[in-house]
Amino acid sequence: MTGATAASAASPDGTLAAPDLRPRQNAPAMPGVVIVGAQWGDEGKGKVVDLLAERATTIVRFQGGNNAGHTIVRDGEEFKFHLIPSGILHEEKTSVIGNGVVVDPRVLLGEIDNLKRAGISVGNLRLSANAHLIMPYHVLLDSAGETKLGKNSIGTTRRGIGPCYADKALRLGIRVQDLLDEKILRTKIRAALEPKQQALRELSVQRRKRLKEAGEDAKPIEESVQVPDPRLDLHAMVEEHVSFGHRLEPHIADTARLCWEALDGGETVIFEGAQATLLDLDHGTYPFVTSSNPIAGEACVGAGIGPKDIDEVWGIAKAYATRVGAGPFPTELFDDVGEQMLQRGHEFGTTTGRRRRCGWMDLIALRYAVRLNRMDALAITKLDVLSGIGPLRVAVRYRSKEGAVLDTFPYHQSILHSAEPEYEELPGFDLDLTSCRSASDLPQEARDYLGFIADFVGVPVRLVGVGPDREQVIWLED
Ligand code: IMP
């Protein structure tokens, strides 16, 4: 082993301090901390954000929408969020939904209502006036598009994410600020709605044809063209969205300015990514990706800050790997070990309830994520899930179909699709880790496992998760 490892980072007496993210005295104001997923999502970012948020005044989400799902367990109580930043449980802090997020107003209002019912104040929730809205037609288009793709589908969450970002790029999007002016709202929805009605009609006709050919649908094709879908009625849509606007108005703000004020005042601001690096629209496993950029660079665009506002980047990775939806996953397991990870890790989606695909930790992919995000530190979550699963394996290179050794993440889709992982085998551990609270409580094999990861990817592991509760963590010194 070379360089700093998590194991060697543990001080001999096992006393480990949480990293101090507080603004330094007389230090230049640069306390922007970005937290991103380092794999295919569901790494447990919510819990890490919740923990690091203790030292911040402001927590900002910068991309994605309600395709994400964060679960935070606090004192045994479980909170699930899709849109609201994980920092919301710190009521005195400002929680921001940035301009880069796509917002389904119905979902957001539902989350606000749930929090209020649980007695949690949402008085400090701020919503960017520039964020785009997921409209009912986006959700319909996402579903119809996936159905059309059939066995080639992406496996999206069908929450309208892709069609909403597409409208944003087409300049046909409806923004949060539009909710506050009925006339503008009506004009914009009318312009956006017409092509969607056409597209949906066409998709519906094609579907009927396909079903008919397969002998599955007796209804006449014309029916789908003639019956107007009540969910696409302009008048009703405008009315409903005006009322959403009334309810959201107290939260709508110039959120980029809010971030600047906090950063310039020397406060710590956490920028919370959703999804993860390998689902990035530009750098992930395209086309099996989401429609936004979940990497650290996007914090600038999606929140409205400059690159120099970012002081620290944390990547969150599970101690193994999971993926939902279709797309390449070189270390995927189809055996008992994968099943054990699924069951013990409760690997079912927070948003869709889908079974997650499980596999070994892929260090080629993780090293790629570390560099792409220029990470300073890693948090490794769910280490406890691996106890009793020994020996442990980590992918350290791939081999191409032609037999070439690949020690970097292949940019070419076909190469990645057929890449075979080659593993390093490391000793496993049987101890139940859920009550470990310091590095010295961990068995040597677990420390070596973390050390191997840190060495391979070149950044320290600074936080380890050993259970779902926020107390079930181990801080490691850099
Ligand atoms: P979309 O983001 O709903 O368009 O889905 C695109 C791909 O990203 C699909 O494979 C989804 O399963 C995946 N995806 C989207 N959000 C998440 C997430 O929060 N965790 C894990 N996978 C996600």
**Which one-letter amino acid corresponds to residue 361?**
M
CA–CA gap between residue 195 and residue 174 (Å, rounded): 14
Residue with CA nearest ligand 1 atom 2:
290
Task: For residue 439, give the nearest of 51, 5, 10, 17 by alpha carbon.
Answer: 10
pLDDT at 228: 67
For 48, 70, 313, 379, the CA distances from 82, given in Å and listed in that order, are 16, 6, 22, 21
> Is residue 270 within 8 Å of residue 59, measured between CB atoms?
yes
Tokens in use for 63?
A: 């991309």
19 lines ligand 1 (CB under 6 A): no
Tokens in use for 256?
A: 């980029």
263 lines ligand 1 (CB under 6 A): no
The C-alpha angle with vertex 184 and arms to 183 and 188, in degrees rounded to 5, equals 120
- Residue 76 gets the label, from left (phi > 0), alpha (psi -120 to 50) or beta, of left
Q: Beta strands of 62-124 (E only): which ranges?
A: 70-74, 77-81, 94-97, 102-103
The C-alpha angle with vertex 252 and arms to 54 and 126, in degrees rounded to 5, equals 5
Residue with CA nearest ligand 1 atom 21:
41
From ligand 1's centre to the CA of 289, what distance in Å?
7
pLDDT at 219: 61
pLDDT at 11: 43
Helix, strand, coil percentages (3-state) for the chain, rounded to 5, are: 40, 20, 40
State the catalytic residue, choosing from 70, 90, 132, 251. 70
Question: What is the pTM assigned to this prediction?
Answer: 0.90
Tokens in use for 10?
A: 């543990």
Largest distance between two CA atoms of the chain = 76
**Strands laid side by side in the 310-318 sheet:** 252-253, 125-128, 94-97, 58-61, 269-272, 32-37, 310-318, 377-381, 461-465, 473-475
From ligand 1's centre to the CA of 107, what distance in Å?
17
162 lines ligand 1 (CB under 6 A): yes
pLDDT at 311: 96
pLDDT at 218: 56
The CB density around residue 337, as the number of other CB atoms within 10 Å, is 17
130 lines ligand 1 (CB under 6 A): no
CA–CA gap between residue 75 and residue 469 (Å, rounded): 7
pLDDT at 259: 97
Sign of CA dihedral 180, 183, 188, 190: positive
Task: For residue 360, give the nearest of 338, 328, 390 by alpha carbon.
Answer: 338
From ligand 1's centre to the CA of 436, what distance in Å?
32
The CB density around residue 243, as the number of other CB atoms within 10 Å, is 13
Task: For residue 16, give the nearest of 439, 348, 362, 343 by alpha carbon.
Answer: 439
> Is residue 68 within 8 Å of residue 108, measured between CB atoms?
no
Please indicate whether residue 70 is annotated as part of the active site: yes
pLDDT at 6: 37
From ligand 1's centre to the CA of 156, what distance in Å?
6
Residue with CA nearest ligand 1 atom 1:
156
pLDDT at 72: 75
Task: For residue 64, give the nearest of 154, 160, 138 by alpha carbon.
Answer: 160
Run means of pLDDT, 10 residues per run, the chain, 478 residues: 36 46 45 97 92 93 94 77 89 96 97 92 96 97 93 94 98 98 97 92 84 70 58 94 98 98 96 97 97 98 97 97 95 97 92 91 98 98 95 97 95 92 98 96 97 97 94 88
pLDDT at 16: 47
> Is residue 62 within 8 Å of residue 305, measured between CB atoms?
no
CA–CA gap between residue 359 and residue 423 (Å, rounded): 12
Q: Is 17 exposed, middle or buried (0-12, 13-18, 19+ CB in 10 A)?
A: exposed
From ligand 1's centre to the CA of 294, what distance in Å?
11
CA–CA gap between residue 323 and residue 334 (Å, rounded): 13
